[in-house]
Amino acid sequence: MDISTSDMGLVARVENLTKSYGTERTRVDALRGITVGIRRGEFTAIMGPSGSGKSTLMHIMAGLDSPSGGRVWLGDTEIGGMDDTRLTLLRRRRVGFVFQSFNLVPTLDVAGNVELPFELDGRRPSSQELDWIAELESSLGLVDRLSHRPHELSGGQQQRVAIARALATRPELVFADEPTGNLDSRTGREVLALMQGATRQYGQSIAMVTHDPVAASFADRILFLADGLVVEDRGHMEAAEIATFMLTMEQAA
């Protein structure tokens, strides 16, 4: 019998996960048998050289791409073989996303963007959920921008809206893909501190793909990928230590 993912304190898990692209002659093995769990209530960074499989791993864990082999769970739900309709529903209800390019809806104001996940789910937020949204908007410094459109906001403000939107439904897991890639370093640090705060204050589980040692230094745990495998699983590290480690990995490759 399988041990349930939540019994292990995990919010997501992959087992012997493989992913190959292309046909026999052009085949690329992006993931070559990964077994790893994302722990509940932690901010986990996924790092590794370009092409090591970070985005592929994140996309499969988030139900955006399908595995070639192995098993994938979100919470206690096995999602590896799910059809697109069920995956779409699951993503909508149980996962949040923060992307490098913010991905806000340009025609909606800030309040409309934050409430979009409810709209997409065909319902209005409950009064409890509205209280939560108001708390998020306040702690993310968005209260005096609620009727602004994305183009009227700075990059940092847009990313804060995306974070509020990702947290609004209290998803089991938030996936962040290079969330500070389009921000200057000071604004990037502010955004990372807010994400770290969501984990510390609200117990939000976050998995973040990044190249940036400074971004990864905000995480509680760092998974290092190389050539489609997890090669190191570390706790918190300082940025300089991460940068040195990455350099050693690249030299070894």
Ligand X SMILES: Nc1ncnc2c1ncn2[C@@H]1O[C@H](COP(=O)(O)OP(=O)(O)OP(=O)(O)O)[C@@H](O)[C@H]1O
Which positions touch ligand X (CB under 6 A)? 21-22, 28, 30, 48, 50-56, 211
Going by C-beta distance under 8 Å and a sequence separation of 6 or more, which residues neighbour residue 153?
110, 145, 161
CB nearer ligand X, residue 52 or residue 205: 52
**Crossing angle for the helix pair 155-168 and 127-139, to the nearest 10 degrees:** 150
CA dihedral sign of residues 38, 188, 141, 98: negative
Please state, in angstroms and as integers, the Cα–Cα distance from residue 91 to each residue in 30, 110, 166, following that order. 23, 22, 11
Give kind and range of the element (H or E) at residue 39.
Answer: strand 28-39
The residue (of 148 and 211) whose beta carbon lies closer to ligand X is 211
- Residue among 4 and 101 whose Cβ is closer to ligand X: 101
Tell me the HSE value of 12 on the side-chain side, using a 13 A CA sphere.
28
Instruction: Give the nearest distance from C-beta 16 to ligand X in angstroms.
Output: 17
Output the smallest distance, CB 60 to ligand X, in A: 10
> Least distance (Å) from ligand X to the CB of residue 181?
10
41 vs 181 by CB, closer to ligand X: 181
Which of residues 48 and 96 has its CB atom nearest to ligand X in the complex? 48
Q: Nearest distance from residue 212's CB to ligand X, in Å?
A: 11
Report which DSSP code applies to 253: -
Q: In angstroms, what is the minimal distance from the CB of 48 to ligand X?
A: 5
